[in-house]
Every structure is written in C-alpha cells, then in structure tokens.
Structure 1
Amino acid sequence: MIDLAVLDMAGTTIDDGGAVYDALRSAVEETGVRVAPDDLQKWMGTDKKQAIEALIRLGGGAPTASSVAAAYGSFVELLRTAYDTRPPSALPGVENALAVLRDRGVRIALTTGFGSEVAGPLLDSLGWSTAPGSLLDAVVTADEVASGRPAPYMIHRAMERTGVLDVRQVLVAGDTTVDLEAGTHAGAGTVVGVLTGKLGRSALEAAPHTYVLDSVADLPGLPETS
C-alpha cells in the first residue's frame, strides 16, 4: 500500500496550456540564443534557473550569474502574464483522484521545478493548499533543496514533511523523463509516467518507470493504491 503520492505540478496535475514551455523558451531566447525543441524538452521539469543556464549554453551562449538571473526574472514575468491571460486549471479528474487517494489514507505532496514565488500564487489560484482538510499535505519547490530533478531531494523532503519513513511506500508521478528519473533516484516503490504533458508513451517508456498511464486521474486504479 502506498503511504505517499508525490506528484509534479504543470503538465501532471495542472493544465497550464503549455505556458511553462513558452515562457522558458522566450526567456532564454531573449539572451540572444536559439532554443532547440529537443533541448527544451530535456530540461523541462528541472529547476528553472538550472534549465536557463543549461539552455543558454546549449544555444551557444556563455551564461553568467547576471544573465541567468535576468532570464529567470523574465521567465517569471512571462509566466505570470500567461497565467493572468489563461488561468491554469486542474487537469480532468485529478482533484477527484486525489480525494479518493486521501480517503484511502494516502498523503499527497506536490513537487515542482518552480520556485516558491511562482508555485505559491499558482496553487492559490486553484484553491489548493496544505491547510487542514485541504487537498494537499505538502508542497516542495525547487528553491527549497540543494538540487532539483533529476536529483531525489524534493521527494525526500516531501517524505520528511509528511512523516513517511519507507521510500518503498512512495509513489512518484510526472509527465517528463526527469520526473521518472528523480523517482528512481529516490528509491520510490512506484514510478509513474503520465501522458498529460508534451511527451508521448514511447518517450516515457524509455525512462525508468513502473507504469505509464493516461493521467493522474488513473492512479486510484493501480493495485498499489487500492
């Protein structure tokens, strides 16, 4: 039986219309480099400051602390504008699935490559919180750990915050390969790829995983959560 489900945010539990992809690409290209689609996909799900630095370098640029900071500031503003224009929403069936899991005694944590200055307002706009009786038990952002995905630290921090001791009783789900790599690095007993993001089944199945599902909405049907 799973004690804790650790889930990614944008593309996994939240539909943001692809705003993260567009904002990240635009912010990096403002530095004068071109972002290749494959490079962008490779760095989705990671800490966004690390992603910006890597994408500038992959585009032939020479990232500096100041250029990365400026690009990250642009990313945050572009994302806020996009979210104001098209507010994010829960992906279909996700809220019901999380409620079912919580009724079965599974704790729910969200992790993200966003910093807290992006994740907090995003969750507020959805009405999701960690207050008693709310949908979530914990939220861990990339700026709270030494390194974001594919490192395991956000998952382990979620375990710490929810009091879960056995990583074999943790389920990790996400829509990118780095989500699956982070779950594997953490030692999670169940690692699930979901098809609600940009990647297709073959790409997710090429990464370490236990299942590839259509959506987080399908998690209550897994034997580990029943």
Structure 2
Amino acid sequence: MLELAVFDMAGTTIDEHGAVYAALREAVERTGVSVAPGDLQTWMGTDKREAIDALVRIGGGTVTPELVEEGYAAFRSILQERYRTKAPVALPGVEQALAELRARGIKVALTTGFSDEVAGPLLASLGWSTEEGGNLDAVVTSDEVRRGRPAPYMIHRAMEKTGVIDVTKVLTAGDTVVDVLAGRNAGAGVVIGVLTGELPREAFQDLPYSRVLGSVAEVPELAETRPAGSS
C-alpha cells in the first residue's frame, strides 16, 4: 500500500489560471530576449531561478547572478499581481482527494518550484496548511533543496519530513515533464502525469511514467497499489 502521495502545486493541485506561465515569460522577456513557447514549457515546473537562467541563455542573452535575481524579483511581482487580479483556486475534486488519501492513512505532501515567499501566501489563500487540523502533512519549496526538478531532492525531502522510508511506497503526480522525471529519478513506486496543466496526453507518451490521469482527483483510485516499476 502507498504511504505517501507527493503532488506538484500549480497546474496539478491548484488552478492559478496560467499565471506562472505568463509571469515567467514576461520576466524573461524583460531582460531583452524572446521566449519560444516550447522552451518555456520545458522549464515549467523547475526552480524559477534556474528557469530564468536557462531561458535567458537559450534566448541568446548574457546571464549574471544579478540578472537572475532581477528576473526572479520581476517574476514574483508579476505573479503576485496576477494572483491579486484572479485568485488561484483548488482544482476540481482535489481537496476531496487529499482528504480521502489522508483518511486512508496515506500522507500528503506538496512540492513546488516556488520559493517560500511565493508558496506560503499562495497556500494560505486557499486555507491549506501543515498545521494541526490542516489538510497537508508536508510542503517542500525550492528553498529547501540544492536543485529543483528534475532532481529527486524535493521528493526525498518530503519523505524525510513525513517519516516515509520506502520510496517504492511513494506516489508522485505532476502536470509537467520535469514532474514525471523527478518522480522517476526519486525511484517512486507510482509516477503519475496529470492533464490539468498545459500539456496534452501525447506530451507524456515517451516519458517514464506509471499512469496518465485526467486529474489528481482520480488518484485515490490507486491508493491500494504498490506497482514499483510498472509501465
């Protein structure tokens, strides 16, 4: 049986109306380079400073630590303004799914390419927390690890926080390519791609996933599984 479900935030459990995608694009373009949609999608789900660094380089710009920090500050400002204009909400069925998993004794953690200062207010606006009586067992942000996705570190940190030892009893789910790769790199027993983000089913076709689901709302159906290495 599964012991831990680890979910991405934006696009997987939270509908933020494409704000991250738009904010990242605008922040990078403010440095004077253009951003191709395919490149932008490739870097969705990663640590946002790493994404800005990579996208500026791809666009032919010169990267400095100062430029990355300026770009990240712009990203954060743009994102917060978009959130004020149109507040994020839980994706349909997600809150019920989280509650059902925890009722079955499966711990729930969220991981994100956001920093603490972005993730904290976002979760608070939804009423989600790890406090007593909250609906989460752990949250891991990009501030807590040396490398973001597709590195496995956020998933392993979630295991550490929740006391789960056997990685084959971990399920991961996310809406981007790097979410799936992080799950596989972590050795998770079940790796799910979900279709609530920007990617169509075909985008997951050649990735090392266990299943592709329409939504995290469907995950409780897999709660009794332990199919390490399944395809």
Which one-letter code corresponds to 1:132 in the other structure? Answer: E
Partner of 1:40: 40
Q: Is the 8 A contact 1:150 1:179 kept in 2?
A: yes
Shift of 1:9: 0.1
Paired position in structure 2 for 1:159: 159
Match of 1:105 in 2: 105
The answer to whether the 8 Å contact 1:12/1:175 transfers is yes
In the alignment, which residue of structure 1 is the partner of 2:229?
none
* 1:185 partnered with 2:188: no
Q: Is the 8 A contact 2:2 2:223 kept in 1?
A: no
Which residue of 2 is the match for residue 22 of structure 1?
22
Tell me the TM-score normalised to structure 1 length.
Answer: 0.98
Amino acid at match of 1:59: G
Change (3 A) 1:187 1:98: same
1:87-137 Cα deviation digits (max 9, x unpaired): 000000000011000000000000000011100000000000001221100
1:196 counterpart = 2:193: no
Corresponding residue for residue 132 of structure 1: 132
**TM-score (normalizing by structure 2):** 0.96
Residue 83 of structure 1: aligned partner: 83
Q: After superposition, what is the alpha-carbon deviation per residue over 1:66-88, rounded to whole angstroms, capped at 9, x for unaligned?
A: 11100100000000000000000
Q: Aligned equivalents of 2:48 and 2:77: distance in 1?
A: 13
Q: What is the RMSD of the two structures over their aligned residues, measured on CA atoms?
A: 1.0
Deviations 1:22-53 (A, max 9, x none): 00000000000000000000000000000000
- Give the corresponding residue for 1:50: 50
2:101–2:223 contact (8 Å) kept in structure 1: no
Q: Which residue of 2 aligns with 1:65?
A: 65
SS at structure 1 position matched to 2:128 = coil
Aligned to 1:92: 92
Deviation at 1:222, TM superposition (A): 1.8
Shift of 1:205: 2.5
Tell me the alpha carbon deviations over residues 149-182 of structure 1, each in whole angstroms, 9 at most, x when there is no partner: 0000000000000000000000000000100000
Q: Contact 1:219–1:225 at 8 Å: present in 2 too? A: no
CA displacement at 1:221 relative to structure 2: 1.2
SS of alignment partner, residue 209 of structure 2: coil
Runs of at least 4 residues off by over 4 Å? none
> Structure 1 98/137 Cα, relative in aligned 2: closer, same or farther at 3 Å?
same
Shift of 1:207: 1.2
The letter for the 2-side match of 1:5 is A
Q: Give the secondary structure class of the aligned counterpart of 1:198.
A: coil
- Find the aligned partners of 1:37 and 1:199 in 2 and give their Cα distance: 12
Unaligned runs of 5+ in 2: 227-231
Where 2:191 maps in the other structure, the secondary structure is strand
**Residue matched to 2:221:** 221
Equivalent pair of 1:205/1:212 in contact (CA under 8 Å): no
Whether contact under 8 Å (1:192, 1:212) holds in the other structure is: yes
